Amino acid sequence: MTTLTAPARPVAGMFWMFSAGLSFVVMTALVKSLGSSMDPIEAAFLRFVFGLVFLLPALRLIVSTPLSRRHLTLFGIRGIVHAVSVMLWFYSMTQIPLAEVTAMNYMTPVYVTLGAALFLGEPLAFRRIAAIGVALIGVAIILRPGFREVSPGHIAMLMTSLTLGASYLLAKRLVQDLPPSVVVAHMSIWVTLALIPFAVAVWTPPSLYDLGVLFLVASFATLGHYFMTLALQAAPVAVTQPVTFLQLIWATLMGALVFHESVDIWVVAGGTLILSAVSFIAWREAVLNRSSLTTPSIAPKL
């Protein structure tokens, strides 16, 4: 068996993270293309239903892994929290530009860092606090309250990042006992179940076109997570994190060229500040070699 040499691993990690980012932006654009043809909650539900198809290879492991009552409770809580996050994210996509969704999604690792300090007892050093402050400035630059209207879509996206962060922290607890593939699989199952009553409340028969788009959404989401896993196996988060900035570039270009959205330099500037803060936290933990800490990682885990 051949292995990657040490100098090649960072390059491989950056390549796979680049591929993951591109997959996630395509996924986001596909959701955006649905427009108002389908209720966001119904679209979120069908995306996860299609996503269950990709769990079939792991079905034997899912069934054979013993679960305690504590595991089931955490899976249930995470399913509800993540379902709320998904509904908010799909709603945001119908309300605000693609670049703003992408830039504000960068706040998820910041919430994870705060949550790890508050609920997991991880230290919150001055450098982390300063980086969080910079990230919050980035959010203020994007929203510019008082200079423009902060829409329900912006509020929904802020809540999306917050609930995604909570879901990530619950996953961190679960992977201490269970294989990551089992945790990911159960997340998809429980989120699908949690979305059923909401989807039933707004259900209208979807068109074949909408079903095809949502199947592609599920496909690119799965592909993005697979590429991200390869990236994190190949190189530390501190190396791969800056590459995620390209997601904002792709989203801005796609929003302008495909959806005719104006390019807002303030959104790019704010997103850059947030990503710089998160990358600094990841780099700092890598320098200190504190592998037990929750290292921030950016990805729309939807």
Q: Which two tokens stand for residue 244?
A: 């995620």
**Which of these, 91, 89, 134, 126, lies nearest to 110 by C-alpha position?**
134
Q: Which amino acid is at 278?
A: V
Q: What tens digit of pLDDT does each residue of 137-178 get?
A: 999 999 988 788 889 999 999 999 999 989 988 988 888 888
Q: Which helix (H) or strand (E) holds 1?
A: none
Q: Say whether 57 sits in a helix, a strand or coil.
A: helix
**Which of these, 218, 276, 222, 251, lies nearest to 102 by C-alpha position?**
251
Residue whose entry in the numeric block shows the structure tokens 């043809």: 37
pLDDT score recorded for residue 149: 83
Q: What angle do CA 95, 96, 101 make, to 5 degrees?
A: 120
Q: Of 6-15, 201-210, 250-259, which range is least confident?
A: 6-15
pLDDT score recorded for residue 297: 58
pLDDT score recorded for residue 293: 59
Cα-only R_g, the chain: 19
Q: Which residues contact 85 (CB under 8 A, 6 or more apart)?
A: 159, 160, 163, 164, 167, 302
Domain boundaries, the chain: 8-288
pLDDT score recorded for residue 2: 44
Residue 205 predicted with pLDDT over 90: yes
pLDDT score recorded for residue 8: 46
Q: Which residue has the higher pLDDT, 238 or 35?
A: 35
Q: What's the predicted TM-score (pTM) here?
A: 0.85
DSSP string over 72-95: HHHHHHHHHHHHHHHHHHHHHHTT
